[in-house]
Structures are given as structure tokens and as C-alpha cells.
Chains A and B, each alone.
Chain A
């Protein structure tokens, strides 16, 4: 479904990604783990069109999307839940969700998706008239995910959805990620919480200083000494 082919991405003359390749098959949950500054967010931003790769290509369903405008990529079915949620705090929950469906014209479909999102996140329904900035961190994460789902994506990019959440809430969020996946949405999940990420993922990539250093099935990586040492707290 998605194929990233040895891309190089720069910020000015700092190279953040060095020949990164990665693949996501339809229906999978693929996770990308790595330390701070490894280049995880950079990769997601490049896929969703916020950044352009200098070299290499990104294929989505066989077509190159590298360097295309972000709105074209959303239109083609890739939604990105950015790191730090980035919800529109000065708008209501409902308006945030509406913006998620910005490019859609199918009124009935949008209404159905509102219901789906409210079913997935009942909290959001209770707070739909409330300003998004007044939500708790966990609720904001739910809103960011709900907002992305409103585009009815076929591929969902999630950047550290568990960041800053209490353990119980992290569990809830991961359960919901699996639920979203079970409805047929493919997921590329960036996480620092490698334990949780590997427990829901089918396959995983490990990225270090802009390079993919390891990849394999989630079980393989869970068992790997290298991953245990670096990302699973050595147990």
C-alpha cells in the first residue's frame, strides 16, 4: 500500500533522513520506534506532504506521492495525526471534527463518520460544543485521532499518540488503535513506548539517527536483544 524508497530529507543543510526505506501492507499496523531526534516525525511529515524528500520516492498504491501538496495526499486517503495533537484549540470539538472532513462533499457520509467517531470516543460527543483547548490531554489525543478519521483515511499515520498520557489512558488509546485497524484502516504508528507499540503491531522498524537499523515482525523485534537493550528498558 505504502512504499518509501530510500528517501533523504533535509532541514536546510541538516540531513534528518538518510536513505530510509519502509513498506506498509494493506490492513497492517506497522510501528516505527526510535529515540528522540531519530527522524520518526520527519518521516511521517514527508509521507503526508509537509516536507519534500530530496532524493528517493514514496509510492502510495503504486503512484508516486513524494513532494505532492499535503491536500492532495489527504484527498488520496492518508491522514496524519501529528505529534503533540495540534488540535485547533480556539474551535469547538465539533468544528475540529468538521475540519477533518474539509475536503469531503458527501454530506451523508460525513454525518455517518461523525457518529462513528462519537461511538469510538463517547467523551468527544459529551464535549462537542466545548472549546477544544479546554479538553484534557487524553481527550485532545482522542480529538486529534477523531479529526483524522473524519477524512475517512485508508492509511492513518499516528505520531506518538501515547505521549504524556497516564498508563490507563495509554491502554485505552492503544485499544482504540486496534479497533480502528479492525475496521480496515491501515496504520503506521510512531512510538517511543516500544512495549505497547510492539504489542499491537504486526511489523516494526527501528530508526536511529535518520537510518532504519532494524526491521521485522513485532515478535522478532520483541525478542531481539538489541531492541530489548535500547528500547524495552533491558528486561
Chain B
């Protein structure tokens, strides 16, 4: 390691101890404030587990039932708390099982550190038992990764790992540590990393760019904000609220930006994107200034780029210079941390109200309400809808719960209808769309913030992708509320088959097991609801429960999620049916 390339916190009180690499890893984690980590043992990581045994009470290791569960639990932990999540696995299959979670964390900018054991260094490259090139495999899906073959390198690499994972635009880091390095003894001393020479996590905000942005906003007749997770990651919720209120600009959110501004805020105009709200999608193509804050113009947000907001001047606030002009050309780009740049913007903004313009959003909302929302949340047909389940959850959560959704129709319904009073409350796999995310992520979220109500909303398909984590819930007594919206289909794919493949339902129908019995097998209280009359009481009972609870709601089998922007279409072609 070339120590000129990083800066460390001066820690004069840190004393040097002669310990093993394995013990050093635990001490690094504790020094970084890690209270919980998720993982699964195996040969190449056993020395570290042996130390975990000795450090019980100082750091809590959660045995998940699959390494993918460990990675997603670490993500859930990070997403609800803003702290770095940690997952650990053995070499070979243990390490490869982490990859989906790592890829998910990469695309959703989630700070996690994954530690993998590796075969002893003299066996590297020999196709040894459970050897896999996890550094090679994880390179395209990590913010940074490194292999350690000498104990003496552990403190610096770990310090760098935590610093890189959480600074700037956060992301996953993987540290692969050979077994011999875990056994080796050395003089350990830990100093946190404070800077890396080749890495500029937070570009400086240019006040002139802020002024140019403010000028455009102050002169705009029909401005619109679309914010993303950058607001949450930058802890800029208060600044966003102040900007919105002072400027009077209607503000919409991407799926990952949800909850940064309460859903009840009068200027919150809903979600953009494929299944977002009608008004913000339609009016994206009518606004005169589009203010993008900490979002990356994902294709699920923009639809066809050729017809996306062409009439508007675009202002793009982002911490990552590579996002500027990547998908949508910015007329004004403001680099930097959202908290700082929004604070600077605030002082340049005129107080304004855009009542007539705001009314256009309300009018379109009324149309969406009549043709979609009413039937979703107050259905008159016989079958239960996903929307009414969400409405019932809102009634009991009062908007205070964190909603962890999986991927599919139920996810879109959850994000559309869940009410949020607090930031970091919508935990979902946005960029990667990873089925199987919700159950383990909910465990991580609940354990990170035990005082918060955590409700997982999952489809019958995605539930079965990581259903084994019920074992973790049971063992850890994690009071997660699990709602499976069972339509006996891979609903979202079935919807596409219906709309775009002439109803040829190839392999989307599911014959499901008795989910209530399965939950009960894990000693989790469980109930199934098949009729509307039973729903309110069942949700009430679940929400009142102090422990984990499983609720299956058998919903209408062939309901579709609308509004919808068919893929490749323009945001203004958003369909209501």
C-alpha cells in the first residue's frame, strides 16, 4: 500500500496491539461504529467468525439464511439509517451469492462494505477449493474493491473501504481477505481514512452556476422540480422543503427520492416515471424549467429521451459529474452536495407562487383519481386490490412506517399509495429491480432502527426468492411486518404479456404453497385475508403486533397498474388504461 495516497485521521490515543488479521477486521468494524453485520460463515472466513465469537456483545453478527439475504439486509440497514451496512461471506459461492446485492447497491448508491474470505494467498490462481476471482467478478458492480493478502494491509484497506463507501455518491465496496492474512499476526493500529488522493467525492459548488439556476427559476412561468435519492443521501430534506416552499415550485419525485418531502406536502405532486402519477409525467413535457435534484434521468423516469422535456430549460443538481449530460442535456449544471447547493440556491430565489400552474397538476390529478386511483383504493368490484391494502396500512401507520417493497406490481402500488411523513422511509430496489430484495432488506431496516415500524410489501413471486429469511426473522426476533399481495401471478410480467404479447401468459402463473403455514412453521404469527370484510381488522392486528407478523392478502389476479408509460414511449403518452 502506498500511504502517500490517502489521509488518515490523527488518532494519538490509538495504541498499537499485536493481534491477528482476523481480530483486526473486527476491531476495524467496531472502530467504524458497526454494531450489526450480516453474513454466513465458511472455510475461508472462519478465523473471522472465531473472533466474532469472542467479540459477542460488542458486535452483533446476524446469520442470514443465504448470502444474498446478507447483502440485501446490509442494504436495508444502510437505506433506513444512512449508516454503512456490512455483509460478510466466505470465498467462492459465499462471495458470488453477494453479487446481486452488491450490484443493487451500486445502481442505487447504497453504502455497504462486503467482506469476503479468500483462499490462502499461496493457492490464489490454482483453482483451489472454493476459489473464485471475486475481485474480478465484483469490479463492474463495486465503487471500489481490493484484495488483501497481508495482515498489515488490513487497517488501511478497511479504513479506505468505509470512507469510500459512505463519502460522495455512496456505493458498495468489497474487501477480499485471504485466509493466511486473517491468521497472520501483526502490530495493529486503526486510523480512519479522511481522504483519498485520486478521489474527489464532493465537487465544489460553483456559485455562478447556482445564480444561473436561480435566475432561470425566478423567471420561470411553469417550473417543475424532480428530485431523487440525492436529496436523501445528501441529507438535504430541509433544504429541499425550504426551496420548494419559497419558490412555490411543484415538486415530483423519483422512486428512490420518495419520502424526502412528506407525501402530504401541498407542493408534492407525486411520482414520475413509468408508473408514476399522471400530472408530473404529462407536465414534464409542458414545464418551462425542469429542476432535477439528485436524480439521474433513468430510462424508467424519462421514457423516450427524444421527446423528454425538449421544451424546457434543464437545471441539473448532482454530486456526480458523470451524471451531467449523460442522458439529458443540462442547460445549467450545479455540481456538489445537495445540502450545500440547495442552501445556496435558497438565498438566491425569489418568493413566488405558481398557483395557476400548480392548478394544472391538480386538474390532472383529478383525472387520474377518477380513472385510476378511486378504483385502486376504494374498489367497488368484488376482488381485493393492492391499493386498498396500502390504504389500510396508511390508516394504521399514519404515514410513520418505513415501507420496504419488492419488485413488481405491488412495488409500484406501494410507492404510489404509501404515505410518508419521514425521510428514508421508502426502501425499494429501484435501479436493479431485484426481486427478493424486500424480505431481507426489511430485516436490515428493522434492526438498524428498531423503534421504527417496518412493513414489507412483497409479491408472491418475489417472496419466494428469499423466503428462507423467515428463519432470520424468527431467530433474531426482528419485528418485521410482512405483507404478501398474492395474485398467483408474476403480476408485472403478466401485465406486460396482457398489454404487449396478446395475453400469452408464458410461465407467469404461480401455483403457490400455503404461505400462512410456512410462516407459522417459523413461529411467526400469520393470517390470510381473502375478503374485503376481513382486511381492516387483519391490518389493524398486524400493525398492533409487537413482534413479526405475516399477512397474506389474496388480491384480484389480473389487475393492472396504471398510469403507465409503455417502454420507449414519451412521458406525455402516459396511459390511464
Q: Decide if A and B are genuine partners.
A: no
Q: Which residues of B approach A to under 8 Å, CB–CB? A: none
